[in-house]
Structures are given as C-alpha cells and as structure tokens.
Chains A and B, each alone.
Chain A
Amino acid sequence: TQLLEQSPQFLSIQEGENLTVYCNSSSVFSSLQWYRQEPGEGPVLLVTVVTGGEVKKLKRLTFQFGDARKDSSLHITAAQPGDTGLYLCAVPNYGGATNKLIFGTGTLLAVQP
C-alpha cells in the first residue's frame, strides 16, 4: 500500500472550472509539500505546509493541511491550460531516519482551452 494516496488519479476539465485534488494517508506528518511536474520536466515545489489546519494561497491555488496532519488538499480556482501537469504531494523524513521525500501517487490534470 502507498503511504500517500492521491485522488483523483486523472482529471480533465475545461478552462475556467474549479477543481480539488486530495492527498490522504493514515500516518501523521510533520510537514507536507506539493509539487507540479510538467511533461518532460522534473517536479517543482509549489508549497510546504507544516501546521495542522494551515491554509496557504499561491495565486489561484489554495493548499490546506488537515487538522490532524494526515491529509492535504489543493484547490485550483478558474483553471487555465497552463495548470496542466502532474500534481504530487510529498512528505519528508517519514520514519524519521533520513532526509528524503516520499511522493504520493500523483494526480494528472489536463485543462482544455
């Protein structure tokens, strides 16, 4: 089983629509990150959330860390074709041993013009 399950796995929407992507786990994390990966590129960090219940906004993107620090959501308002990509949540130091990221299963978003 995956440590971080993302849903939906794939999402195709029209430009201007809103959407929410979820990242769920049964484990508690000290922090969680969201990345976006465009085709042919490496992942790029969007945000880090560290406090339960924390909400961060990045232009049209709103990120929330669950109160229990087990889950997170990413909401995009008025999606644009430039938002197309693979959205990944990731957690550091799971198990406390090493400084590495463990990624979620990913949500592939396609925004049609």
Chain B
Amino acid sequence: DTGVSQDPRHKITKRGQNVTFRCDPISEHNRLYWYRQTLGQGPEFLTYFQNEAQLEKSRLLSDRFSAERPKGSFSTLEIQRTEQGDSAMYLCASSLQGWERNTIYFGEGSWLTVV
C-alpha cells in the first residue's frame, strides 16, 4: 500500500509526558500537512511542509508542539508536556506541489488520549 501512513494509531499518555507521532507520506509527494481533529468536528490546520521547509504554522501550534521533516520525506510531530486539551486525532496528509490540481491524501490519523 502506498498511501499516507501514521504511527502509532493510538497513544494513551499521562499528563506532562512527551509524545511523538510519525507520518510517512506518499513517496512522490513533496507537500506534507498536519491537522488536529476532535470528535465530530472538522480538522484544524496545524502546519505544512514543502520538502523539508516548514512554510506555515497555525497559531494553534503552541510552543509545546514541534514538527520536523528533516529529509523531506517522513515527518514527526512532537508534543511536549502534554495536557488534557491535547487529546485529539492528529491527521497527516500529503500532496504534490500545486495541489489545486492534485488531490490531498489523508492518513488514518493518530489518536491521542491524555489522562
């Protein structure tokens, strides 16, 4: 399967712990996006990369959040000192540059529960 893959699919962590999610995009896609989604709501944009460059970050991405895409392939999203309000599904997506003519493909998401 050559779709967008995310790992882990589910993570339960104690408040204050750090967590890291990984995303492997479709191999030829140079754009990668992270979104956050709470139950029954639409996804909210967090950040996106073009190749290894992080071109935009939402104000939702507090200082405790950091995303990287070191070699322009896979990406990681780290949340430090997790809070209960961080509980959500974190979605990764990828597309070709100029995605208006190319579809964005989403992964299955990584569910985070902070207890």
Contacts and interface: CB of A to CB of B under 8 A. Distances in A.
Contact of B55 (A42, A86, A92, A98): A98
In terms of DSSP, what is the predominant structure of the interface of chain A? loop
B93 A42 contact: yes
Q: Which residue, of B4, B42, B48, B56, has the highest number of chain A Cβ atoms within 10 A?
A: B42
Interface string B31-43: 1010000001111
Interface residues of B, number: 24
7 contacts: A42-B106, A42-B107, A43-B106, A92-B99, A97-B56, A99-B31, A106-B40
Interface residues of A, number: 27
A43 B93 CA distance: 10
A100 B48 CA distance: 8
B106 A98 contact: no
Interface of A: 4, 6, 9-10, 31, 40-45, 86, 88, 90, 92-93, 97-106, 108
A45 B99 contact: no
Given A88-B42, A99-B48, A101-B43, 13 more contacts: A6-B42, A10-B40, A41-B108, A42-B4, A43-B43, A45-B103, A86-B40, A90-B42, A93-B100, A100-B45, A101-B33, A104-B42, A105-B42
